[in-house]
Amino acid sequence: MIDLTIDGRAVQVPPGATIWEAARLLGIDLPVLCHDPRLEPVGVCRLCLVEVGEPKLTAACVRGAEDGMEVRTSSERLEVCRRGLVELLLSDYPIDASGRPKTGSDALLALASELGADWPDRRSRSGETGEAPRSRTEPAGGIPAGQGRPLDGTSKVIFVDHQACILCDRCIRGCDDLQVNEVMGRTGKGYQTRIAFDLDAPMGESTCVSCGECEKVCPTGALSLRVWEEPPKDAAGSGNTGWEVL
Amino acid sequence: MTTTTLLGELKKRGVKVRRRGERLLLRDLHGALTPELRAAIDAHREELLATLDGAERSTLRSVDSVCPYCGVGCAIRYFVDEAEDRIRYADGRESPVNHERLCVKGRFGFDYTSHPDRLQTPLIRKESAYPKGPLSTEVRGERKRRPGGLVDYDEVLPHFREATWEEALDLAATRLVEIRDRDGSGALAGFGSAKCSNEEAYLFQKLVRAAFGTNNVDHCTRLCHASSVTALLETIGSGAVTNVFGDVQNADVALIAGSNTTGNHPVAATFIKQARKSGRTKLIVVEPRRIQMADHADYFLQIDSGTDVAFYNSWMHVLIEEGLIDEAYIAERTEGFEELKAVVAGYSPEVAAGICGVEPGLIREAARTFGRAERAMIFWGMGISQHTHGTDNSRCLISLALMTGNIGREGTGLHPLRGQNNVQGASDAGVIPMVYPDYQSVADPAVREKFEQAWGVELDAKPGLTVVEIMGAALDGVIRGMYMMGENPFLSDPNVNKVRKALTNLEFLVVQDIFLTETAEFADVILPATTFFEKSGTYTNTDRRVQVGRKALQPPGGARQDWEITCEIGARMGYPMEYDSPEEVFSEFTALAPSYAGLTYDNLGLTGKLWPCPDPSEDGIQVLFGDRFPTASGRGKFVPAEFAPAKELPDEEYPFVLNTGRRLEHWHTGTMTRRSRALHAIRPGPVVDMHPTDLEALGVEDGELVEVASRRGSIVLPAASSDRMLRGAVFIPFHFREAAANLLTIDELDPAGKIPEYKFCAVRVSPAS
Ligand code: SF4
Ligand code: SF4
Ligand code: FES
């Protein structure tokens, strides 16, 4: 067994356990975006940063617990870093992706309010700055929006807003590793990187089997439900698929 | 701008708007938005933003229950809007069954329960609607079926009048008693349902046995795994799975035989695929269609439909020839091996290859892989059971497991994947004509005495008739009165034209259901029942896990709980059945069913328990038969089987082989899933899958209409080109009444399991003009 302390409290974990798991044993809830205990950790969002007495901060979800480790989970420095990370993720976040119906939680926005983060779209829309609202399709404020990160309403059950995606890969792991439907992956490079269904097909035309796992694990409004609509009046009816939930 | 003005402004501009709570649903937005409107919408959204995470959810009540669809029995949390009495969404819960995963039906298929078509008042057939017969032109078979059609309410409802519960129940009971007293108990029969709870199943069979006085009680298990259960009881003495599907992660090899697992047991399939992906488990898939599971397989053997016996016999031939059998296990735990050996000697892979259409080398290789495994699990589905030799197919799989010692340890076992959410439970509860609850034989005098004492009446010693036999007896006028709880034999039984005549011929029929089904058109009395979501009860999944389904919604209008209706009919027939709650029924049932002993609602908790559960502080026994089998000798028995071709082989006139089954998004006769927005939107209608080369030969393009005809009937539906099919084979799902696959199927039965041959009959396909 491995002995370590987290925020001054001692905890024992089996070899192979991560700092995040150790913290959870103590009931410490570290902020996470890309991690979910059901998934293999990938450590891409860095929200779970902790101090372990090294110059660099480390991601608790992937870093193994070590004997004698002294972990700090909160400090001014961590707070600043976490807020900074969230603000970066939100820097091109479209405000209409918020408040969409979801099975899971909209963890990104929840963290934003918790950390007091702010982001351009929210500022402009709320009229605080007098900036014109940014368009989804045209570059604004030096940040290139609309570079092939479109909306995809082709699935009958899940609405995809690529612009709201933070590439945490949770959906991809949910689809490929948990459900083993192996529909999802990534496509594109650089800023245009996005999640993809099959060989970048529209979701509704891909081999997706609508199990909903990707939507469930998505921590943003990028994948949301489109089911709060009326059931068809008649089974021959159109199925009302044209409704946009706003 | 207030929300109301905003709505007004949007409407003025031709935007279609609906309110869903605080949320707006907008359609035809494009181009209609001025900057002010955009800002107003944003402001509205800003308000929502204040309640960002989970706030919406916190206004909803959560109900921990299970899925109403398949035998996997996923644990689900439903989020209920109490003001609207509606489920808003569903999420998977942590449980040993599904670890939070769901499939499309479980996640999106709950809204049928709130559909306006729900029956809410008891209905009595009007005088003018006699003499009886089907009421809609479609069910009469006169009119081309409406695409996408369910029963046409406008056409059928005018033939019924609304009644009070008193009147409807009195009428039902009086007429049933009349028939019983005039023609004897044997003139009555009941179809229970594998969709109802254990409690409802128990009460239903109790009513039929104790009040009707007959064992003519059966349900759709007859149509799915009756042959598997027959074979299992005969060989290893127990009809349930010997291990849970999740244990596949400890298996070296998983054999999937005749099961389209990703379509019909989607969440169970995820665990099998995961085991394969982990590198631990090799996957062998044997199927006439190149199903999705085949894409994950190490070995895929695309055998011709109906040739399973020859195929598995040749596996056993190889295993014996190459010494890949477990001699010690055979010696200590089994009997009858020599007989089996003699039979399979005649099935070399070369012989089998000629029958099954698979290379002998491939048969050998796959058999070796299976034989060399330290631990192997066998999963099977309707592709094994729904044949006239379904029992033989199952016997072969069981022999395969016995000779390799693959029962009774971790990572091994036999797992017939059960179809309905409660088909295991309904069988356990005795909705089977030959056995009382917990498979206790009606023919055994000691057993009968026990139940006579418990129920306080004399019971019939004669085993009853099975589903298809009951329909036959109705046609012959032997069965005169029936009570159907949640079954729709018009679409689910083979040979619809015959079923139509049989139902018409019934003197009196009570149908208890949630929607007007095709079968209800033949009813004298229709009783509006509750859906899964409107009642509590226990359900037993394919793993033998007994789980509590908890009430989430109120029944609409005058609809009543199924168990109450059954009790009311009993009381009016002079057999009072009084209970305060399903819980009380459950304890009466568990007292009579040793396998369920010790289980209570309290100890079932949130994740249920496996039966048997000798120590209720534990989860129940996962792996059965580690030391002995519950047979007379304690040994497992080899029952050899010879290959016999299907009953109706293709010929010049009917050159194609028809296979029927299900699609991922739909359930059985479609009464539920076709009324679910998402499921219907994803798959709105039927298609017949055919090999592209066959289509080309017919001169038909993908999506064009074809007529599929058998000796019993014909249907018209669009063709879908699929290279997952073998040449000469066609596949049609049975959910869609406008192209009812069971108009075509043959009502030939397996002699032992009495299961119909849904998976094989000869058809002709031609372009529909
Ligand atoms: S809904 Fe489709 S894309 Fe999402 S996890 Fe399921 S199969 Fe994959
Ligand atoms: S796998 Fe079966 S039990 Fe699970 S969600 Fe799907 S239909 Fe329901
Ligand atoms: S949660 Fe640890 S890096 Fe994303």
Q: Do A133 and B42 touch (CB under 8 A)?
A: yes
B69, B262, B735: which to mutate for ligand 2, most atoms within 8 A of CB?
Answer: B69
DSSP tally for chain B: helices H, then strands E: 30, 30
Residues A55 and A172 in one domain: no
A246 touches chain B (CB under 8 A): yes
CA of residue B266 to ligand 2 center, whole Å: 7
CA of residue A151 to ligand 1 center, whole Å: 17
Residue A159 sits in a domain whose CATH number is: 3.30.70.20
Residues A112 and A222 in one domain: yes
Closest CA to B657 of B384, B359, B327, B307: B307
Mutation pick from B42, B105, B491, B673 vs chain A, by most beta carbons of A within 10 Å, is: B42
Give residue A128's pLDDT. Answer: 56
Residues A144 and A219 in one domain: yes
Please give the average per-residue pLDDT across B327-336, as a whole number.
96
Strand order in the sheet with B253-257: B299-301, B282-286, B253-257, B376-380, B413-416
The bridge status of strand B761-767 relative to strand B705-709 is antiparallel
Q: Do B682 and A245 touch (CB under 8 A)?
A: no
Mutation pick from A170, A210, A220 vs chain B, by most beta carbons of B within 10 Å, is: A210
Residues A222 and A203 in one domain: yes
**pLDDT band, very low/low/confident/very high, at A54 (cuts 50, 70, 90):** very high
Q: Quick check: A235 pLDDT over 60?
A: no
**CA distance linking residue B624 with residue B412, whole number of Å:** 10
The answer as to whether A241 is a domain residue is: no
The answer as to whether A240 is a domain residue is: no
Q: How many domains does chain A have?
A: 2
Give residue B678's pLDDT. Answer: 87
Give residue A123's pLDDT. Answer: 63
The answer as to whether A246 is a domain residue is: no
**CA distance linking residue B433 with residue B435, whole number of Å:** 6
A76 touches chain B (CB under 8 A): no
Residue A4 sits in a domain whose CATH number is: 3.10.20.740
Which atom of ligand 3 is the closest one to the Cα of A32? 1
Strand order in the sheet with A151-152: A151-152, A158-161, A223-225
Return the ligand number nearest the Cα of B263.
2
Give residue B755's pLDDT. Answer: 87
Asked if residue A41 has its Cβ within 6 Å of ligand 1, the reply is no
Q: Do A98 and B45 touch (CB under 8 A)?
A: yes
Closest chain B residue to the Cα of A208, Cα to Cα: B104
- For B729-764, write each residue's pLDDT tens digit: 999 998 887 888 888 998 888 888 888 888 999 999
The answer as to whether A15 is a domain residue is: yes
- For B391-444, write each residue's pLDDT tens digit: 999 999 999 999 999 999 999 999 999 989 999 999 999 999 999 999 999 999
Least confident window among A93-107, B384-398, B536-550: A93-107
Share of chain B above pLDDT 90, in %: 76
Residues A90 and A205 in one domain: yes
Residues A50 and A166 in one domain: no
**CA distance linking residue A106 with residue B52, whole number of Å:** 7
- For B150-197, write each residue's pLDDT tens digit: 788 888 999 999 999 999 999 999 999 999 999 999 999 999 999 999
Q: Quick check: A126 pLDDT over 80?
A: no
- Ligand 2 neighbours, Cβ below 6 Å, are B 67, 69-70, 72-74, 98, 102-103, 105-106, 266-267
User: Domains in chain B, ordered, with CATH?
Assistant: 3-59 (no CATH), 167-224+422-592 (3.40.50.740), 238-417 (3.40.228.10), 656-767 (2.40.40.20)
The answer as to whether A45 is a domain residue is: yes
- For B59-101, write each residue's pLDDT tens digit: 789 999 999 999 999 999 999 988 888 898 899 999 999 999 9
A118 touches chain B (CB under 8 A): no
Q: What is the span of the domain harbouring residue A86?
A: 82-229
Residues A154 and A176 in one domain: yes
More confident position, A114 or B635: B635
C-alpha distances (whole Å) from B641 to each of B241, B344, B357, B402, B415 are 21, 8, 20, 15, 20
Among residues A74, A94, A114, which one ends one of the domains?
A74
Q: Quick check: B23 pLDDT over 90?
A: no
Read off the DSSP letter of residue B40: H
Please give the average per-residue pLDDT across B567-586, as a whole number.
96
Question: Cis omega (within 30 of 0) on the bond before B612?
Answer: yes
Angstroms from B665 CA to nearest CA on chain A: 9
Q: Do B52 and A106 touch (CB under 8 A)?
A: yes
Residues A57 and A37 in one domain: yes
B45 closest CB neighbour out of A99, A103, A106: A99
More confident position, B1 or B311: B311
Give residue B19's pLDDT. Answer: 59
| Interface A-B: count of C-beta contacts within 8 A | 167
CA of residue B108 to ligand 1 center, whole Å: 13
Give residue A134's pLDDT. Answer: 56
Among residues A74, A98, A126, which one ends one of the domains?
A74
Strand order in the sheet with B188-191: B160-162, B123-125, B525-528, B508-513, B481-485, B188-191, B217-218
- For B659-702, write each residue's pLDDT tens digit: 999 999 998 888 888 888 889 889 888 999 999 999 999 999 99
A148 touches chain B (CB under 8 A): no
Residues A113 and A223 in one domain: yes
The bridge status of strand B86-92 relative to strand B75-81 is antiparallel
* Rg of chain B (C-alpha set): 26
- For A173-214, write each residue's pLDDT tens digit: 999 999 999 999 999 888 888 999 999 999 999 999 999 999
The answer as to whether A188 is a domain residue is: yes
Residues found in chain B? 769
B274 closest CB neighbour out of A180, A229, A230: A180
Angstroms from B231 CA to nearest CA on chain A: 32
- For B49-58, write each residue's pLDDT tens digit: 444 334 456 6
Closest CA to B256 of B275, B280, B225, B283: B283
Residues A174 and A92 in one domain: yes
Residues A69 and A94 in one domain: no
Specify whether the CB–CB gap between B708 and B688 falls below 8 A. Answer: yes
The bridge status of strand B609-610 relative to strand B545-549 is antiparallel
Neighbour tally for A89: CB within 10 Å = 23
Specify whether the CB–CB gap between B731 and B661 falls below 8 A. Answer: yes
Share of chain A above pLDDT 70, in %: 78
The answer as to whether A62 is a domain residue is: yes
Q: What is the mean pLDDT of chain B?
A: 91
Residues A94 and A130 in one domain: yes
Residues found in chain A? 246
- For B245-273, write each residue's pLDDT tens digit: 999 999 999 999 999 999 999 999 999 99
- For A55-100, write each residue's pLDDT tens digit: 999 999 999 999 999 999 999 999 999 999 999 998 878 766 777 7
The sign one gets for the Cα dihedral B95, B427, B256, B488 is: negative
Contacts of A228 in chain B (CB under 8 A): 20, 23, 25, 88-89
The answer as to whether A239 is a domain residue is: no
Give residue B134's pLDDT. Answer: 84
A157 touches chain B (CB under 8 A): yes
**pLDDT band, very low/low/confident/very high, at B26 (cuts 50, 70, 90):** low
Q: Do A229 and B25 touch (CB under 8 A)?
A: yes
More confident position, B333 or B16: B333
Count CA atoms within 13 Å of residue A30 on its CB side: 36
Closest chain B residue to the Cα of A219, Cα to Cα: B53
Q: Do B102 and A211 touch (CB under 8 A)?
A: yes
Structure tokens at B379: 């999963």
Helix axes B308-321, B360-372, angle to 10 degrees: 60
Contacts of B46 in chain A (CB under 8 A): 125-126
Structure tokens at B90: 């569903």
Neighbour tally for B507: CB within 10 Å = 18
- For A147-169, write each residue's pLDDT tens digit: 446 788 889 899 898 888 999 99
Secondary structure (DSSP) of A108-175: HHHHHHHHT---HHHHHHTTSS-PPPPPSSS-BTTB---SS--EE--SSSEEEEGGG-----HHHHII
Contacts of A63 (CB under 8 A, 6+ apart): A18, A19, A50, A52
Neighbour tally for A164: CB within 10 Å = 27
Q: Quick check: B45 pLDDT over 60?
A: no
Q: Quick check: B221 pLDDT over 50?
A: yes
pTM for this prediction? 0.89
Q: What is the mean pLDDT of chain A?
A: 83
**CA distance linking residue B504 with residue B496, whole number of Å:** 12
- For B606-620, write each residue's pLDDT tens digit: 999 999 999 999 999
B103 closest CB neighbour out of A133, A177, A211: A211
Q: Give the start-end residues of each E strand in B98-185.
A: 123-125, 160-162
